[in-house]
Amino acid sequence: MRYVPHPILADWGPARLAIRAYGSSEWQQRAHSSRYCALRQWLLRSSRECPSLNTNPFLEPPAITVAPDLALLLLHALPLDGRMWSKQMDIAPGRTFAPDLYKFGNRIQDWAASCIELIPHERFVIVGCSVGGSCALEIMRLAPDRVAGAVLIGTKARHDPDPEALSVSQNTVENEGVAGAWERYWKPLFEQNSDVEVVQIAQEIALAQSNTALISGLKSFHTRESREDVVRESTVPIQIVTGDRDELPGIDYSRRLVRLSKRAQLHIFKNCGHYVPMMQPTKLNRLIANTIAVASGR
């Protein structure tokens, strides 16, 4: 039996393909067998974790047709800004928004409300990295009917307030400047063998931020509320992305987040750290394009 993969399902790994094959007449004849029923249950569980989006790192994202009422919202990580999404801006041309979040204030709730007002389209797919993912969760709480799908990268939905951590990081920015904070907090989040040019671009973006902007970002990050309930209650597809070298929040927590949701899948990017959009843009772009295609009913 030869299986021709669906263009969207093709990236979901051999477990998902086997599930599709299971639905064929050949497998249905064996449906009474407890052995095959057990296999199917194992495949369904395994299909929620997708270690690789494709086997060809040079394969370009598929061409997609975006629904007229749909937009793409990209939310950046600390200490960067919307320029970190330069490799994602052409996925949905003319309807992609990558705002600078710091200008929206010191609270993640204010960031979320401002982003919602920014989008003129009826619905949007939201992609957030790190604190951008926290903002995405807040948007999903405030405007669930407008969110058509979500991609959460290096995002921790649970948060335990730590005033001391906020104070220390804020003092670092004030006393050592953005350059000192970059070396201490954010440069180490790049995988050891990261492309030197990519790290340099990230550093230039970071050093372009003012102390005030970064302190705004730090306050928003450290004072945010836990939003695991949003993941649990959401009815839209959620793609959870983590680099296998990323410990913030890391693979174990990302798996926990997937288990909270009936519609979440985990994507582990090999040889990758925290800043997936910059480190492995081609693979991520395929995932975003697929998410948009599903939201567009394609």
State whether 276 and 189 are in the same domain: yes
Stronger pLDDT, 122 or 4, i.e. the higher one: 122
State whether 29 and 153 are in the same domain: no
State whether 17 and 139 are in the same domain: no
Give CA–CA dist 277/283, Å, rounded: 9
Provide the domain count of the chain: 2
State whether 217 and 251 are in the same domain: yes
Give mean pLDDT, residues 185-203: 94
Stronger pLDDT, 36 or 229, i.e. the higher one: 229
Residues 203/182, Cβ–Cβ less than 8 Å? yes
Does 237 have pLDDT greater than 60? yes
Is residue 3 assigned to a domain?
no
Is residue 274 assigned to a domain?
yes
Band (pLDDT 50/70/90 cuts) for residue 50 is low
Backbone angles phi, psi at 44, to 5 degrees: -65, -40
Give the range with max mean pLDDT: 13-27, 48-62, 232-246.
Answer: 232-246
pLDDT confidence of residue 117: 98
pLDDT confidence of residue 193: 87
Q: What are the Cα distances from residue 117, in Å, to 81, 97, 122, 211, 257? A: 19, 12, 11, 26, 28
pLDDT confidence of residue 151: 98
pLDDT confidence of residue 48: 65
State whether 198 and 289 are in the same domain: yes
Band (pLDDT 50/70/90 cuts) for residue 52 is very low
Is residue 2 assigned to a domain?
no
Is residue 288 assigned to a domain?
yes
State whether 187 and 233 are in the same domain: yes
State whether 188 and 130 are in the same domain: yes
Structural domain including 208 reads 49-298
Backbone angles phi, psi at 208, to 5 degrees: -80, -10
Does 262 have pLDDT greater than 50? yes
State whether 148 and 270 are in the same domain: yes
pLDDT confidence of residue 194: 92
Average pLDDT, the chain: 85
Is residue 283 assigned to a domain?
yes
Instruction: Give the percent of the chain with pLDDT over 90.
Output: 75
Band (pLDDT 50/70/90 cuts) for residue 51 is low
State whether 62 and 26 are in the same domain: no
Does 233 have pLDDT greater than 90? yes
Please report, for the domain that includes residue 172, its CATH number: 3.40.50.1820
Give mean pLDDT, residues 12-30: 36
Is residue 128 assigned to a domain?
yes
Is residue 224 assigned to a domain?
yes
Is residue 80 assigned to a domain?
yes
State whether 116 and 247 are in the same domain: yes
Q: Which range, of 20-24, 152-156, 242-246, averages the lowest pLDDT?
A: 20-24
State whether 59 and 19 are in the same domain: no
Give mean pLDDT, residues 125-141: 98
**Per-residue model confidence as pLDDT tens digits over 66-108:** 999 999 999 999 999 999 999 999 999 999 999 999 999 999 9
Does 175 have pLDDT greater than 70? yes
Give mean pLDDT, residues 204-227: 97
Band (pLDDT 50/70/90 cuts) for residue 61 is low
pLDDT confidence of residue 8: 31
Structure tokens at 153: 């990268």
Instruction: Give the percent of the chain with pLDDT over 70.
Output: 79
State whether 55 and 38 are in the same domain: no
Give CA–CA dist 135/130, Å, rounded: 9
pLDDT confidence of residue 2: 35
